[in-house]
Structures are given as structure tokens and as C-alpha cells.
Amino acid sequence: MTMQWLQDREIAIVACADTKPVKRSGKTALELAGEVTDTLLRSAGIERDRIDGLAATPANSEAYNPFWTSMLADALGLSVGWSQVTDIGGASIIGNILRAGAAVHAGLCEMVLCIAADAPSTQFFAKQSGFRAEFCDPFGYSVLPLSFALLTSAYAARYGSPDRGLARLAVTQRNGALLNDRACDYLRVPLTEEDYLASRMISHPLRLLDCVMRCDGANAFLVTSSRMAREMGCAAPVHPIAYRECINFDPKNAVDDITLTGFTQAGPAALRDAGLAPADIQSFHPYDDFYIAILLQLEQIGFCRRGQASDFIREHNVGIGGDLPINTGGGQISAGQPGLANGGVNLIEAVRQLRGEAGPRQLAEASNAMVTGIGVIQYARNWGCSNVIILERGA
Amino acid sequence: MSESRTPIVETDLTRPFWQATKQRRFLLQYDPKADRYQFYPRPISLYSTAPLVWREVKGEGTLIAHTLCHTPAPGFAALTPYILAIVQLAEGPRVFARVADAKYEELKVGQKMRIVWGDELGDGREYLFAPAN
């Protein structure tokens, strides 16, 4: 497998936009999609008729609609030659950047709107079927945190409690959100490690402050060829230079450790493609529905050895100005998770860092960044989808 | 009134499994060509193109992970907090279910568990885990 066109810097993200996450906004996903598209078009300075590709994520709040990209295109006044919905959960948005790039590379379209909008705290219609309905829900499966509690249990049995590293992460990300006026206001209050450790158990050993808070919001990215970016006079293109994904890790139960995920494959492969070592990554924007997921990613992508992530976090500065800044804008846990616009929260922060638009959070060294995604929990094991994108600031 | 438990909706594929639970028998799908078991029930073997058969197993296994859930599923409010676990059966597949007859603090990953049958949820079709000793 090779994606040389990424390493050739053939593709560019030329604009990005988001709405501020709000709990129970009362809006629909289409309204939020309209707001974010309007902001995107203004900031990019392009006519909407230049957009000829559309990549979306589904919306929990509109889950009954099987014609989602047509509905979106019509609401937004777009007519395109290529569209798709990507259904790999929190991996969908960086997955869409890659799919949009591939469509441009293949000549299907030239200018792709990658959009995610969801209002799950206003209305929620998504329903998981199959094993989840038949072999989980009737047996006491209630909320997603319990799956991550089970992973934490398996991890702690192998390596010891990761509490101290989790507490440090919680404070670090909250400090980022305090400097990020695009983070959900509800979450922008100072936090200490003691606050984290004292927060109530949702599903032991997982605490309330381990978990994302679901809210409403949208984000959007414009993906085109680097040639087109130059023609447009784009001042700050961001190139995806490597991407790997693993959908449905270990279906045959060959791996004797449920804490292992597709990041063991996708992480090292993406770094190899980019010609980078973990220590070369200037900021890391891991998908964070629960903090334990960041620990697993640090180890499995290769930033540290197995079982060492909690120590790694405490021995390094993972905040702004540190040697490996993590989720500088607060991540989803401290900025809010706008439903299936989830994966865009950390992506837009990485793009803003690379474009030099991160304001008080701006990193001194921001020429590359790694962003990841996670999707779905499979039966009695780990999350199914893992993906990694490495971004580079263009000239 | 608390909500009632999410009903088990059988399919043609899973009916033999659910029928067996009425006699408190736990079945796995078995691929005789690959000599591998699988659970939950799938439409095809994960391991070869051989037709699957159902086999009853004793339900003995090892605790892989456990959690004390304070956020009940519909129908489980009266049992809250309750323990949920992943157990790897001796035959290979992992199973997710509630734990009976145990204190959360006393359970240890790696200990031996066995499947037992519960009546707390009404229709008796709940398989649970209990410590093997």
C-alpha cells in the first residue's frame, strides 16, 4: 500500500471553520452546517460554485435520513460531482480529509467541502443494531464510558493504575480550553488534579472527568490540490503528508490483549510514510473521547513503551510550550464533543496551529502535527477503527 | 416506574442460541474445519468457508476486565451498581455479561470464572459470570 501523492505534498487543506460547541442549542444539524459553511466560504474567499466535491459524516440528530449528502448539498446550495458519507465514528473526519484528497488525486473533483454537523444534545436518533442490540443492551450495557472502564481495568491489571497520568492530562487539556474561546463555555473553568481524582465514578474505575460531554456543533475543511491552492493564492496551505487507517482491528481474536488497537499498525506506518520519528512530531492531537484512549495511543503509535504512558505524561511537559504538546485547544474532553463532528475538534486545532492562528495557544514550533481518530466499540474487545494523519505547514 | 430491560430480539441466525438458553445451556458457533469457536453468533465462520455448527460449552473461562457500573441500562436500576465483565472462555471467544455472587473489590483480572444463569430480570434468559470457586 502506498499513497505517494501524500508524500509529494499534492493535496492541501486551504480553509477551516467551526461553530462554538453549545449544549442543547435547539438547532438542527442543517442550521449548524449552514453557519459553518458560511464562515468557511467567507474566510476562504471563494465562490461556493467552485466546490465540486462533498464529504460528510452522518449526524446522530438526523440518523433516519438515508440521503444525507443530498440533503446537505441542497440546504447549502451545492451541486457536486462526487460525494460520500464516512461512517467510522470519530475517525470519520480525518478519514474524509484523506478521501477528499484521493478524490482530487483521482480527478473526480477539484475542491471538496469536508463537513460535519450534528446536534445530538438537541435530538438523538442514532441506534446501534446487531450485536449491540442483541448481546449488549439486554445484558446491562448502558453507556459508552463502561467500555472504556473495561479497557482501563485490563490496562491496570497489566501495568498498574494510570490515574496519575490521566489526572495530569485532564489538567493539561483544561488549561488549553481556558485559552481557547472556541471551547464550550460550560467547560472553561479551572481544574486541578485533585478535582479530577475526586470526580464521581461513572463506571468504576472511569470518572466523570474522564469523559467527553456531548454537545451541538459543526466544523468544515476545504480540501483541494496544492496546484489549485497556489492558484488561489492561499497563504497558509496545510498538507496531509501521511495517512493510515485500520477499520475493525483483530476480528479473528488473534491478539491476546484487549488493550491493543489498530494504532499498533496505523501509527508506525504513518510515521514511516512521513519519514518521521515520534520525537519529530511537534504537536499531538489524539482523539479523546476518554483520557485512557490517549494513553493507549501514546504507547501504540510509539511515543513511549507499553505501560509507560502515565510516566511519560508526568515526565514530559505535554502542555503548551512543552516537548510534546497534546490537544492544545482542550481536546474534545475540555472543548466539547459536537456529536459526529467529533473528530474535527482536534483536527481544526492542529490546522490552526500550523497556520499560526492559535492565538494565545500558538506553539513556537508548528511545522507539523499528528491528528488521530477512533471509531466504534466492538463486542468484548476494543475500538474498531483507528486512523492517523500527519500534517505539515506548506510553504 | 423504571424502564424495562431491552428485549432480546432473536433472528433466524441466533434462534438456536436463545432456544438453548431456556434450558440454561450456553452454545457457541463452531467451525469444524478450522477447529475454532466464535461468539457472538456471526453469519459465517471467521476462520474458514466451512458451515458452522452449534456446540454446547461448559462456560468456564478467565476474567479479562471488569467494571462497577453506576449508570444503569433500562431495567437494571434496582441492581445498580452492578458489575460487568469480559470473560475469555476456555474455547477462545470472549463474552460480555454481568457478574453475580461477587464483590467488585475482590475480583481480580486473571481469575477463573464460570457462566451461571440468573432470574433477576424476569424471563431467566440472563447468563452471568460468577467466580469459579
Q: What is the CATH number of the domain that holds A109?
A: 3.40.47.10
CA distance B64 to A264: 20
Closest CA to A284 of A258, A250, A311, A322: A322
Mean pLDDT of A372-391: 97
Query: Are B65 and A133 in contact (CB < 8 Å)?
Result: no
Task: Give the residue from A167, A197, A232 where a domain finishes.
Answer: A232
Residues A286 and A223 reside in one and the same domain = no
> Least CA distance to B75: which residue of chain A?
A140
Which amino acid is present at A371?
A: V
Closest CA to B68 of A370, A107, A206: A206
Give chain B's mean pLDDT. Answer: 94
Residues A68 and A92 reside in one and the same domain = yes
**Neighbour tally for A14: CB within 10 Å:** 25
pLDDT of residue B133: 77
Q: Which residues of B67-94 are buried (b: 16+ CB within 10 A; e: fewer)?
A: bbbbebbebbeebebbbbbbbbbebebb
CA distance A46 to A351: 19
Cα-based angle A282, A287, A293 (whole degrees, multiple of 5): 105
Query: Are A202 and B110 in contact (CB < 8 Å)?
Result: no
A229-278 per-position pLDDT tens digit: 999 999 999 999 999 999 999 999 999 999 999 999 999 999 999 999 99
CA distance B108 to chain A (A): 8
Mean pLDDT of A111-124: 97
pLDDT tier at A298 (50, 70, 90 boundaries)? very high
CA distance A275 to A265: 16
B5-16 per-position pLDDT tens digit: 898 889 999 999
pLDDT of residue B2: 60
Residues A307 and A382 reside in one and the same domain = yes
CA distance B72 to chain A (A): 6
Residues A228 and A296 reside in one and the same domain = no
Q: How many CB pairs under 8 A join A and B?
A: 111
Q: What is the enclosing helix (H) or strand (E) of A353?
A: helix A343-355
Query: Are B71 and A142 in contact (CB < 8 Å)?
Result: yes
- Residue range of the domain that includes A191: 131-212+239-393
pLDDT of residue B3: 81
Q: Hey, what's the cell of A280?
A: 519529530
Residues A367 and A291 reside in one and the same domain = yes
Tell me how many domains chain A contains. Answer: 2
Residues A191 and A221 reside in one and the same domain = no
Cβ–Cβ under 8 Å, residues A41 and A69: no
**Neighbour tally for A194: CB within 10 Å:** 10
pLDDT of residue B1: 42
Cβ–Cβ under 8 Å, residues A139 and B7: no
Residues A58 and A180 reside in one and the same domain = no
A43-69 per-position pLDDT tens digit: 999 999 999 999 999 999 998 889 999
Residues A224 and A251 reside in one and the same domain = no
Question: CB burial class (10 A; 0-12, 13-18, 19+) of residue B48?
Answer: middle
**Neighbour tally for A289: CB within 10 Å:** 26
Would you list which residues of chain A are within 8 Å, Cβ to Cβ, of chain B? 131, 133-143, 145-146, 149-151, 153-154, 157, 200-206, 251-253, 258, 379-381
Could you give the 3-state DSSP secondary structure of residue A221? strand
B76-128 per-position pLDDT tens digit: 999 999 999 999 999 999 999 999 989 999 999 999 999 999 987 766 679 99
Mean pLDDT of A146-165: 98
Domain at B59-133: CATH code? 2.40.50.840
Cα-based angle A132, A133, A136 (whole degrees, multiple of 5): 55
CA distance A352 to A217: 18
**Statement: residue B24 has pLDDT above 60:** yes
Helix axes A68-76, A29-44, angle to 10 degrees: 50
pLDDT of residue A383: 97
ipTM: 0.97
Contacts of B71 in chain A (CB under 8 A): 142-143, 145-146, 202-203
Q: Who among A146, A154, A379 is closest to B40 (CB)?
A: A379
Q: Who among B40, B73, B104 is closest to A140 (CB)?
A: B73
pLDDT tier at A1 (50, 70, 90 boundaries)? confident
Residues A260 and A195 reside in one and the same domain = yes
